[in-house]
Structure 1
Amino acid sequence: MRLKFLFSFMMSVAWGCGAHANPLRLNTDGSWNFHGSVALFAATTTKGTTTVNGNSADVDLNLRDALDHLDFTGTGRVEAWNGRLGLIAEGHYIGLSASARATSGPAAGATVNVESTQSWMSFLVGYQVTDGQFANGRPYSFDVQGGARYNRLTQEIVGSGGVLNVGGTERWWEPVIGARYSWGIADGWDGAFMVDASGFDTNGNELAWSATLGLARRFNERSSLVFGWRHYDIDFSTARAGGPFGTDLYSSGPFIGYAYTFN
């Protein structure tokens, strides 16, 4: 088994998805509104390049490929709003692994294990720029967000018996900005479009960005089923003792989640 084949499992499937699809209905009496959501994003397409110890490999995965090697994934978002100002925390984790017996190269005959984990936590301040109603009485709102994101990326290949040990873990902070437009579609239905971008050539991340289109089916004033489509793109690289390390890829696919609003 060639190492490039193993590299192809290193990044895929699920990235954070936190589009709260309901127009923000904010209190004006000084009290707080809270919104929480959890979601799963299933990337039907993941393409790009991963690099470990200076060796690069193309990635071209569908959802079935990625799920075969998924260990665990989860994402969540919490928002607290008081008037037009909001505090937002969003976290995400995904772990992937693969194992096979190498048939060539320095690790020939050994069992080779590949591990890839990606996690991040964002801390944002939000501001609702405008809100109101359309002529048909449906609500809308537009808010912007900005803050910092902490990232942790592991890309590691280890052979049994110590014959191979390449890759490692990188951690970094970066700025992040975002914007969201939400609107009422019909009775019990809301929509939202959200974009964010981070990195801006900070600590090795040239740019990461995402675009999310979501729909929410409200069960009542507090609970909603949220679903839609998301695209995520990242270009990260850094120099390690063993050589260049990084990933340059994009993922696109549907997501589904649950959102809850409480005072």
Structure 2
Amino acid sequence: MRYLKFLGLGFVILGQQAVANPLVLTDSDSWRYHGSLALFAATSTTGTVTVDGSAADVDLDLGDALDYLDLTATGRFEAWRGNFGLIAEGHYIGLSESATATEGGFAGNSVEVESTQAWLSLMAGYRLALGSFANGRPYAFDVQGGARYNRLTQSIVGSGGALDAGGTERWWEPVVATRFTWGLADGWDGAFVVDASGFGANGNDLAWSATLGVARRFNDRSSLVFGWRHYDIDFQTSRAGGPFGADLSSSGPFIGYAHTFN
């Protein structure tokens, strides 16, 4: 029986891809703060995990996600003053799968694959535009950039211990992002966020994500956030035992909570 379980654990005030942040829709000469935590359900996860030259494919559809509680948690913390912002975000993903090796000396044999990835980003943000549509609803556009620390741990184990390969890679890379936020209606905000990192630094050809989200404000401080997110990573490096990497894509809905600290 094929088994795939994709679990996540988020940092309570640090995380990946907050959505509509109401702070960027208004101006202020004092510092204001915004944090969020959300659950992300990867209804589609595909790609390849490679350890010491042995590779195994990952393929998760909506049915698998519903059967095996395919879930990850995510969040973010921002501080803004006027057009300037400081942003911290983190993320954790864990993957465990029984699959068939497709490359390397163990090709064609059943293996257990484990892969966990965590990162922490520290960025500065700048709001390039703040205005209103013809209907009076506000909008804002900001750009972000900084550095991201990554930790990727992977292993492939054959039945009976015939193959036991694994290791951990840690690296820093640049990260950039853009976000468009707008007021949808009274108490409702929307946002579209795109970020990218790696650009060939330390073996990460490119990691990127796109998020479309909506926030329902209950009051001046609390919001329910929900939407859709896609994440993609293509990382590979050379180790003593052979190539080590992950080429994975995940898509799915998310729902969470956001809080503003004035």
Give the TM-score category using the shorter length.
Answer: 0.7 to 0.9
Amino acid at match of 2:167: G
Q: Which stretch of the first structure deviates more once superposed, 207-216 or 62-71?
A: 62-71
SS in structure 1 at match of 2:64: helix
Residues 1:71 and 1:240: Cα distance change in structure 2 (over 3 Å): farther
- Equivalence for 2:223: 224
- Equivalence for 2:205: 206
Taking the aligned partners of 1:169 and 1:248, their CA distance within structure 2 comes to: 16
CA RMSD of aligned residues (A): 2.9
- 1:4-15 map, 5 Å: 9=4, 12=6
Amino acid at match of 2:136: G
Taking the aligned partners of 1:89 and 1:239, their CA distance within structure 2 comes to: 30
Residues 1:141 and 1:21: Cα distance change in structure 2 (over 3 Å): same
Taking the aligned partners of 1:63 and 1:115, their CA distance within structure 2 comes to: 20
- 1:16-55 map, 5 Å: 17-23=16-22, 24-29=24-29, 31-55=30-54
Q: Percent identity?
A: 71
The Cα shift of 1:208 comes to 0.7
Q: Does the 8 A contact of 2:173 with 2:201 survive in 1?
A: yes
Taking the aligned partners of 1:171 and 1:27, their CA distance within structure 2 comes to: 38
SS in structure 2 at match of 1:65: helix
The Cα shift of 1:26 comes to 4.3
Q: Does the 8 A contact of 2:195 with 2:208 survive in 1?
A: yes
Amino acid at match of 2:202: N
- 1:221-260 map, 5 Å: 221-260=220-259
The Cα shift of 1:62 comes to 1.9
- Equivalence for 1:103: none
- 1:101-180 map, 5 Å: 114-158=113-157, 163-180=162-179
Amino acid at match of 2:116: T
Q: Does the 8 A contact of 2:126 with 2:144 survive in 1?
A: yes
Taking the aligned partners of 1:21 and 1:218, their CA distance within structure 2 comes to: 10
The Cα shift of 1:19 comes to 2.7
SS in structure 1 at match of 2:28: coil
Extract unaligned runs of 5+ from structure 1.
101-105
The Cα shift of 1:164 comes to 3.6
Residues 1:69 and 1:114: Cα distance change in structure 2 (over 3 Å): farther
Taking the aligned partners of 2:128 and 2:27, their CA distance within structure 1 comes to: 15
Q: Does the 8 A contact of 2:192 with 2:212 survive in 1?
A: yes
Q: Once the two structures are superposed, what CA deviation does each residue of 1:190-218 show, in whole Å capped at 9, x if it has no partner?
A: 11000000000000000011111001111
Q: Which stretch of the first structure deviates more once superposed, 90-99 or 171-180?
A: 90-99
Q: Once the two structures are superposed, what CA deviation does each residue of 1:119-172 show, in whole Å capped at 9, x if it has no partner?
A: 100000000111121122211111000000001111113469865420211111
The Cα shift of 1:22 comes to 3.6
Aligned length in residues: 248
Amino acid at match of 2:173: E
Give me the TM-score of the superposition, normalised by structure 2. 0.84
Give me the TM-score of the superposition, normalised by structure 1. 0.83
- Equivalence for 1:88: 87
